[in-house]
Amino acid sequence: MSEDTNNSQGFYSSGSGTSYGSENKVTVKEALIFTALFITTFVTTTIAGAQWVGAYNASGGIEVTDLIKGLPYSVSILLMLTFHEFGHYFASLYHKVRVTLPYYIPFPSIEFFLNFGTMGAFIKTKSPIMNRKALFDIGIAGPLAGFVISLLLIIYGFSTLPGKEYIMMIHPDFDSPEYGMNSLSLIFGDSVLFSFLRSVFANPPDGFIPPMSEIYHYPYICAGWFGLFVTSLNLIPVGQLDGGHIIYSMFGEKKQTAIASIFMIIMFIWGALGLVNSFYYLGSPFIGWSGWLLWAFILYFFIKIKHPPVYYEEPVSKGRMLLGLTGMVIFVLSISPTPFVITMKV
């Protein structure tokens, strides 16, 4: 996702004082930060990937020589994040908007129950985005690029799905009735698109298709699922998220604010249901997700609901309107209302 701040006039700008259209020079400091964060995130995602596929030794640790098992996951997830962020970056360069290189966010890969090894990535604008056309292009380029990579990862993952012996090597007791008994289980939430791709491309030799509670053991599928999750989060039409950029560019300030407000209400209600479901079971673990409350809090206080105005408000072309509608369809197909469910088998 891209990150931006506002100047004192309230227009969509970083307030850096840099003139519009100036050359986007990468400083030595930016290059060093980019390199350091990329390498660190590569390490944390590789360790996370090794953990996902069960590369543990007898003492429960991971040998350095086993880290190679985490490479399919780390390369896949960094490929998706890199395409997403450089989509923003090159669209910004095209419109002569100064931006930083992508800043990857590593997450320490310790034995954590829900650990992707990264919290994503972002770029920061350093000069004003002057019109809705530029804002639209910069906003949509990242999600589209990341979505394509996610799509390819999921298709490849399901097309090369191994037989049941793969999961049996990680969980030898998988077929046992006692498997997972009295222990926490992490279930990834399904989405319309993910379900469709599974039904079309998953054709393992023995017919075994892993349940959503085991998806994280399959690196390409896991990274692709994470890519759809990141894409859908960024396409929420609130504030300065990519979806906010797109909706503001297409429909203007008033409609963007109204649409964003509706989504904030939906997130709050669904999040509240998830919180209630944690204490008073409502009949299904997939009713609500309390994580939406945290996300709504972050959006309201940090990202903001209302998108700041640009300098020139001319409408975007019909072609961009059509592309924006495509982005909305991608959002609907990719989002999982309940992305994570933690249950215990008793």
pLDDT digits (tens, 9 = 90+) for 305-321: 999 999 998 999 999 99
* Predicted local confidence at residue 14, as pLDDT: 34
Widest CA span in the chain: 66
Q: Is the pLDDT of residue 151 over 90?
A: yes
Strand partners, 185: 343
How far apart CA 82 and CA 104 sit, in angstroms, is 9
> Alpha helices of 252-317 — where are they, by DSSP H?
253-279, 291-298
How far apart CA 134 and CA 94 sit, in angstroms, is 9
> Alpha helices of 53-164 — where are they, by DSSP H?
71-94, 132-159
Mean pLDDT over 98-106 rounds to 95
* Structural domain count, the chain: 1
Strand partners, 118: 106
DSSP string, 188-207: EPP-HHHHHHHHHH---TT-
Q: Is the pLDDT of residue 16 over 60?
A: no
Q: Which domain holds residue 265?
A: 2-344
Q: Is the pLDDT of residue 57 over 60?
A: no
Spatial contact of 25 and 126, defined as CB atoms under 8 Å apart: no
Strand pairing category for 2-3 and 340-344: unpaired
Q: Is the pLDDT of residue 237 over 90?
A: yes
Name the residue among 20, 78, 21, 26 with its Cα closest to residue 49: 78
CA contacts within 13 A on the Cβ side of 251: 15
Name the residue among 20, 248, 288, 10 with its Cα closest to residue 132: 248
Mean pLDDT over 54-65 rounds to 61
Q: Letter for the amino acid at 100?
A: T
Percent of the chain with pLDDT over 70: 89
Task: Give the burial string for 207-245 (b: 16+ CB within 10 Å, else e).
Answer: ebebebebbbbbbbbbbbbbbbbbbbbbbbbbbbbbbbb
Spatial contact of 178 and 106, defined as CB atoms under 8 Å apart: no
Classified as helix, coil or strand, 282 is coil
- Spatial strand order in the sheet of 2-3: 2-3, 118-124, 103-106
Model pLDDT for residues 176-224, shown as the tens digit of each residue: 988 888 788 889 999 999 999 999 999 998 999 999 999 999 999 999 9
